Structure 1
Amino acid sequence: MTINTSLLLSSAIIGSSVISCNKNDKKNSEQPNIIFIITDDQGYGDIGFHGNPYIKTPVLDRLAKQSVRLSQFYACPVSAPTRACLMTGRYAYRTGVYDTYNGGAIMATEEITIAEALKQQGYKTGIIGKWHLGDNYPFRAQDQGFDECFVHGGGGIGQQGDAEENFSNPDSSYFNPVISRNGNPEKTKGYCTDVFTDEAIRFVQQNQKNPFFLYLAYNAPHTPLQVKGDDLARYDSVRLDTSIYPSGGYPLMMNENDYENAKRVYAMVSCIDDNIGRLWQTLRDLQIEENTIIIFMTDNGPQNYRYRGGLRGKKSTVFEGGIRVPFYIYWKGHLTENKEISEPAAAIDVLPTICAITSTPLPSSQKIDGTNLYPLITGKAEQLAERSLFFVWSRGFIEPYYNIAVRKGEWKIIGETPYYMGDTALQLYYLTTDPFEKNNQAQKYPAKVTRLRKEFDAWYSSIISSPPLLKGYCIIGTPHENPVILTRQDWHGARGKYWERPDGFGWWNVTISRTASYSFELRFKEKISNKGKALVRLGSTQRSMLNNDTTSRAVYLPPFRINAGDYKLEAWYEAKGEIISPMYIHVTAIDE
């Protein structure tokens, strides 16, 4: 949650919860600007510099050549956990984030983010694009340290957690989308990547005389693979041929649908490439390039089968193709160009590294899992102390040993097995000679498998009891957000996973901040076809509204009194023996 800057380090909260990354703090005017760029579902192989013979990314290729590159940098298998890691320097599960929806993408408000830390140093902070760590107070980006927020909702434009207009236009949601500016919906004009870059350029221009932190999180090339015609035309004559890919990698099988999807992804990435070029040129035009750090990474592996540089796996897996991503850091005149570092690193290292670069205090009231990479980047250190890195993902909470990985040094264990199968079912790879994870050596080195599995067990025990995992209560009835719009993005419950279906069902964890009257508007995907009744339930408080209107997509329940407290909020529509769940609920506190 945002720290009160007027209290600074003298406050009891901040004064007892920070330690200095560097004793020689710079003045704000001497601190570099930071532009942190992250793309969505762009895999390691979706850049020409990484050997892809088809994709056109001249700007990213040039950035790679002029940057320090971390060639073995890791994200999480899916989006929201990666973003929680880089924002906090902590494993996502400590922050309450464990999935991409179904209540698993809500970061605890107590977490101290990069934005909050940098604000203490006088930075202007802005986020553009994708947040994906909570859409309601107190979990929004503006509640977590960002001065300016220009973001879509949920996990992607047009998804169930996004603005209703975007969701209602699934075939064109990337064009002219509604975007939230500091909590207020704003209709935009243009393709989403262009819109976000225009906003990024505006932010840079307006803040050029002050240190700024810009988090530019493109939603592309995430599905739906909507792309501008002129970008797709660049690949009209391209005929993808996997036989020309470098030999020796993990086998890649693609069907015709994969080929078509790959071309659309490449077109979306080329659009991103053009736009990064526009932003980069803006820094030169404003003569602030030498005082601006550009960091580029992606959030996980590719969502479709396509070129991966020979790596095994894709998004959602813990194989290298699912979690290994590009990471470039560029600072003209300050960092060595075209330098490659092969030391394993991960998204948890982003916050401590940025803190070190900017002489910003690290939060000490919470465990920081990441490591400061800046000595490695500058050449002041040749390697990091050996450590283990942990990767895991499943729909819901972590399940040992399903889709888990531990990397320590050059060894990596992978689990694709239930908890009761034992160590013999785990896989072991030596990445120095087997970067494509083709030769399982678990039977040859069983003791090493057991040691790494025990490390996972200890790590699992340390994070599975993290209090935020069972919290995530959005707060209703405050001036910070009224009305509150609840979406299926944050549904809880097993049937909440069916967020696309009319018969899906879930609940929201909410805190009613004050005893008052509240109205509810239930909004459905389609017009209500049968007469029936709408119901709302919070704990033991339940109200219903008879409905005879079959021409509308919404049912309104007049205000009724609800006592302050924590609740499981449920809402549904009953008609002819069927239950239909709303896509959105507008909850409004009524002043009395």
Structure 2
Amino acid sequence: YPSRPTDQGFDESLIHLAGGMGQVGDFTNFFKKETSYFDPVLWHNNEQKPYQGYCSDIFTDQAIDFIEKNHKEPFFCYLSFNAPHTPLQVPDKYYQMYKDADPSQGIDPTLLPSSPMSEKNKEDARRVYAMVSNIDDNLNKLLQKLKSLGIEENTIVIFMTDNGPQQPRYVGGMKGRKSSVYRGGIRVPFFMRYPAKYKGDQDMDQMAAHIDIVPTISELCGAPLPTDRTIDGRSFLPALRGETLANRSFFSYWTRKFPEMYNNIALQKGDYKLVGKTDFDAPIGEFELYNLRKDPGEQVNLLMQHKEKATVLKKEMDGYINELGRSKNLVNPPRISVGTPHENPVYLNRNDAGGERGVWSQENIFSYWKVALEEGEYNLKFKFVKPIPQGGKMSLELGQRIHQKNNAQEAVDELEWQNISLPQGSFDFTPFYSKGRSRYFPFWVQITRIN
């Protein structure tokens, strides 16, 4: 802590909140609903600022502006597009390019989803392809800027993405989608360009992962890696020189919280991959084992033929689960610091809420935020998903202390408390508005320390 981009080494940042623009954690754009990608409110160096235009165009233009200002010195620019991501909003110019296309036609059937695409799947794919074409145009604009500035040859450009598709569409014949540990969820494109060092095209047919990017860039730039922490990845530059990288394991899981034994969890080592989609006490025969070299689509479960190999991989998988479970940030997840000089006001949003799993935009749900509070005087603002009923009571639980106040206002979606004295300590910050049997959890809370 603090963990905003500008606290972690970036001189300038332009971001939206949450995992996707317009999601519940991105409370500055959530209420725009079907127009959240257009004319958004973004955070420039931690301050809210309205922008005009489409989100991908805005991010590209701001990245180009940053490069123009800094191109005479070494620079690092991380351009992270929100698209393609739900909600699938795209300028009509790009949608028109695909509006009559049938995404299930014209492609080798073995590269399409195993089940037929519904009409909604096809419409979603059209919009995704339109968003990708917009990104293509923006990347071209960015690359042309590098060329016009005379830095094209000596600039390392990396293009990658975070996970497989959320909706059924072309996925190269791979099994699964986003939130799955099958290849369709975790295997993604990666392109790197560095004309001054690498001429022509080449493919690397060895396993690499996101954890390898820092060591690789470090070697390319001659910058030493930090020695005060464990670096999980390794440079893959030897593979580009024709060397064979040492065999290693790649552990993956997906859940909304901690690893679930043994559900949606996998270990890949060499050509083989062990997948768990079963119960915590399942025998080894209920796991899945694939040879990715011979079966990249993960269609033929070889476990019964290679039970001994699967048993060895499961033992290694258990080791990773146990190691991860001992991680200090899982044993004691960092609390949200409130009242420090680093950040004031602090916003508590749904993505950071605890309690029930899947806290999203529900009105009646029990939840809280784990905070580390500094003693002081505060102003609090509680924002709700919809106007709350008149005649209820707003409550805030902090450990053994409960603040409560009746509400006589009609049809309001915000309540404000002024000059509240709050104690120092680690608490479950638990606000709720109650009337009758209903308890309304705030959509977000703004906490401003005033002294």
TM-score category (smaller protein): over 0.9
Identity over aligned residues, as a percent?
40
Q: Distance in 1 between matches of 2:110 and 2:31?
A: 45
Q: Which residue of 2 aligns with 1:234?
A: 97
> Structure 1 151/248 Cα, relative in aligned 2: closer, same or farther at 3 Å?
closer
**2:289 is aligned with 1:428:** yes
Instruction: State which of 401, 412, 415 in structure 2 corresponds to 1:555.
Output: 415
Runs of 4+ in 1 over 6 A off after TM superposition: none
CA contact (8 A) 1:250 1:437 kept: no
CA contact (8 A) 1:163 1:179 kept: no
Which of the pair has the greater relative contact order for Cα pairs under 8 Å at 6+ separation?
Answer: 1
**Cα displacement (A) at 1:167:** 0.8
Q: Which residue of 2 aligns with 1:573?
A: 433
**Cα displacement (A) at 1:398:** 0.3
* Worse-superposed segment, 242-251 or 519-528: 242-251
**2:334 is aligned with 1:462:** no
Q: Which residue of 2 aligns with 1:294?
A: 157
Instruction: State which of 340, 348, 366 in structure 2 corresponds to 1:478.
Output: 340
Q: Which residue of 2 aligns with 1:526?
A: 386
CA contact (8 A) 1:250 1:438 kept: no
Instruction: State which of 211, 214, 219 in structure 2 corresponds to 1:348.
Output: 211
Amino acid at match of 1:474: I
CA contact (8 A) 1:545 1:557 kept: no
Q: Which residue of 2 aligns with 1:112?
A: none
Cα deviation digits, residues 259-309 of structure 1 (max 9, x gap): 110000000011011101100110011111112110011100000000011
Instruction: State which of 129, 137, 140 in structure 2 corresponds to 1:266.
Output: 129
**2:55 is aligned with 1:156:** no
Amino acid at match of 1:374: L
Q: Distance in 2 between matches of 1:392 and 1:406?
A: 9
**Cα displacement (A) at 1:202:** 0.4
TM-score, reference length from structure 2: 0.97
**Cα displacement (A) at 1:466:** 0.5
Cα deviation digits, residues 460-507 of structure 1 (max 9, x gap): 11111101123221211122211111111100112x523221012211
Cα deviation digits, residues 235-256 of structure 1 (max 9, x gap): 1231233474254777243111
**Cα displacement (A) at 1:333:** 2.8
SS in 1 for 2:380: strand
Q: Distance in 2 between matches of 1:518 and 1:542?
A: 15
Q: Which residue of 1 aligns with 2:314?
A: 453
Q: Distance in 1 between matches of 2:111 and 2:86?
A: 30
Amino acid at match of 1:525: V
SS in 1 for 2:323: helix
> Structure 1 246/255 Cα, relative in aligned 2: closer, same or farther at 3 Å?
closer
CA contact (8 A) 1:191 1:228 kept: yes
**2:397 is aligned with 1:537:** yes
CA contact (8 A) 1:528 1:549 kept: no
**2:231 is aligned with 1:371:** no
Amino acid at match of 2:420: F
TM-score, reference length from structure 1: 0.74
Q: Distance in 2 between matches of 1:230 and 1:264?
A: 11
CA contact (8 A) 2:376 2:422 kept: yes
**2:350 is aligned with 1:488:** yes
Q: Which residue of 1 aligns with 2:8?
A: 144
Q: Which residue of 1 aligns with 2:300?
A: 439
Q: Distance in 2 between matches of 1:518 and 1:537?
A: 15
SS in 2 for 1:273: helix
Q: Which residue of 2 aligns with 1:58?
A: none
Q: Distance in 1 between matches of 2:145 and 2:192?
A: 18
* Worse-superposed segment, 296-305 or 244-253: 244-253
What pairs with 1:57-76 in structure 2 (closer than 5 Å)?
A: none
Instruction: State which of 183, 186, 204 in structure 2 corresponds to 1:323.
Output: 186
Amino acid at match of 2:273: K
**2:376 is aligned with 1:512:** no
CA contact (8 A) 1:249 1:436 kept: no
Cα deviation digits, residues 320-351 of structure 1 (max 9, x gap): 11100001110113113210011011111111
Structural RMSD (CA): 1.5
Instruction: Tell me the number of residue pairs that the alignment of Structure 1 and Structure 2 aligns.
Output: 450
- Show structure 1 runs of 5+ residues with no match: 1-108, 110-137
CA contact (8 A) 2:104 2:122 kept: no
Amino acid at match of 1:292: T
Q: Distance in 2 between matches of 1:221 and 1:391?
A: 23
Q: Distance in 2 between matches of 1:313 and 1:522?
A: 40
CA contact (8 A) 2:153 2:194 kept: yes
Q: Distance in 2 between matches of 1:215 and 1:541?
A: 44
> Structure 1 516/244 Cα, relative in aligned 2: closer, same or farther at 3 Å?
closer
**Cα displacement (A) at 1:361:** 2.1
**2:73 is aligned with 1:213:** no
* Worse-superposed segment, 471-480 or 189-198: 471-480
Q: Which residue of 2 aligns with 1:10?
A: none
Instruction: State which of 202, 215, 226 in structure 2 corresponds to 1:339.
Output: 202
Q: Which residue of 2 aligns with 1:183?
A: 46
CA contact (8 A) 1:497 1:504 kept: no
- Show structure 2 runs of 5+ residues with no match: none
